[in-house]
Amino acid sequence: MITTKGLTKVYRSRGREVTALHGVDLHVREGEVFGVVGTSGAGKSTLIRCVNLLERPTSGTVTVDGVELTALPGDEQRAGRELREARRRIGMVFQHFNLLASRTVQQNVELPLEIIGLDRTQRRRKAAELLDLVGLADKARSYPSQLSGGQKQRVGIARALAGDPKVLLSDEATSALDPETTRSVLKLLRDLNRQLGLTVLLITHEMDVIKTVCDSAALMRGGRVVESGALTDLLADNSSRLARDLFPLGDFASGHPGRTVLEITFQGDTPAQPFVSQLARTYQIDINILGAAVETIAGRMVGRMRVELPGAHADNVVPIGYLREQGLQVDVLDFDANGAAA
Ligand SMILES: Nc1ncnc2c1ncn2[C@@H]1O[C@H](COP(=O)(O)OP(=O)(O)OP(=O)(O)O)[C@@H](O)[C@H]1O
Ligand SMILES: [Mg+2]
């Protein structure tokens, strides 16, 4: 649904150059919620602004819903007709809502409908529908100053949906909100994604947001995407930095030299069966549990356990094979003489 290839953005101001994006390749599938995380200055906002061409990339291509936006005529000041139409199919939600204070909630939602050229009756009907969808039907006549932060963001979302977009872009839409309100706004985004089949590309600096609503994620650093994929795939990858951040295991004890330490990951449908006791019984071995954690990520249960078996790796090939046959992901950790994971 959204594909960027070799996306590069260089900002030039007062003789200085800042390369905000270095050849970013991103692929967001239709109907998914895709999250981008990264530290401040990593290039996240630049990336999202390049996706709807609010910012012209220096090089590379952006394709949304089969249309290569970067091939359409228009510059930063004046977009051509085709580009304006393509943009209408891309909604955008901002951190600070960007509502007009002098207009009522309904008039704020009607604004993009005026630009499209709908008449008064059509605008009213559409705005009422949208406000109902975001749970604000009773606030149509209020002014932004009379709303809470969460309600303002709901207006921002209703306005973003005015052009019946297939794609919604969100730049830190919840970072000005308290945790409770954040949860309800995230739930709204998730519901809209499911009900309308809306593809959502969101930026956040909170791992919790990724955990709660995203199907896939990308990690950005210094203008580059250093890792990306479906959360379920990332979690199954022992070397994934994002998976470590989503599901930290830092507090687990390391093993003892001369023994075998395993990290066992189970997801979703794999029954959280008592595999440890089965293993102990089947092979008559003592198993030392070093740590365990269970989390719900993207609506699926994911568990991880670190266990220690007596003997070296070579002595445990059969029990490890047994665990893998049960559908569990098993990683053998190597520890050096000091007990630190290699
Ligand atoms: N209009 C601009 N002119 C010049 N440099 C810019 C401009 N916008 C962004 N930059 C620079 O580009 C880099 C990436 O900025 P960007 O806003 O995309 O980061 P970000 O990941 O969104 O950060 P944050 O988490 O703080 O919002 C930064 O070094 C920033 O200073
Ligand atoms: Mg930003």
Question: What span, in angstroms and rounded, lies between the C-alpha atoms of 221 and 245?
Answer: 14
Q: Which of 11, 21, 207 to mutate to test the pocket of ligand 1 (most atoms within 8 A of CB)?
A: 11
Ligand 1, pocket residues at CB < 6 Å: 11, 13, 18, 20, 38, 40-46, 205
| CA 21 – ligand 1 centroid, Å | 10
Per-residue pLDDT, 252: 64
* Contact by Cβ (8 Å): 270, 300: no
**Ligand whose nearest atom lies closest to the CA of 38:** 1
Per-residue pLDDT, 251: 61
DSSP H stretches of helix in the chain: 44-51, 81-88, 105-116, 120-133, 149-160, 179-196, 207-213, 231-235, 241-246, 275-283, 317-325
Per-residue pLDDT, 106: 96
How far is the first Cα of the chain from the last one, in angstroms, to the nearest whole number?
39
Q: Which of 22, 46, 76 to mutate to test the pocket of ligand 1 (most atoms within 8 A of CB)?
A: 46
Task: Region of 85 please: left (phi>0), alpha (psi -120 to 50) or beta.
Answer: alpha
Q: Which of 18, 26, 54, 172 to mutate to test the pocket of ligand 1 (most atoms within 8 A of CB)?
A: 18
CATH of region 247-332:
3.30.70.260
Domain boundaries in the chain?
247-332
Ligand 2 ion: Cβ-proximal residues, 5 Å cutoff = 45
Instruction: At 8, list the tokens.
Output: 């590069």
Q: Output the tens digit of pLDDT for each of the chain's 342 residues.
A: 999 999 999 999 888 999 999 999 999 999 999 999 998 999 999 999 999 998 999 999 999 999 999 998 876 566 678 888 888 899 999 988 899 999 999 999 999 999 888 999 999 999 999 999 999 999 999 999 999 999 999 999 999 999 899 999 999 999 889 999 999 999 999 999 999 999 999 999 888 899 889 999 999 999 999 999 999 888 877 788 888 888 776 666 677 788 899 988 888 766 556 788 888 899 999 998 888 888 888 777 888 888 999 988 889 999 999 999 988 888 888 654 444 554
Q: Which atom of ligand 1 is nearest to the CA of 172?
A: 27
Per-residue pLDDT, 156: 96
Per-residue pLDDT, 290: 87
Per-residue pLDDT, 337: 45
| CA 173 – ligand 2 centroid, Å | 11
Per-residue pLDDT, 76: 57
Residue nearest to atom 24 of ligand 1 (CA): 40
Q: Which atom of ligand 1 is nearest to the CA of 21?
A: 14
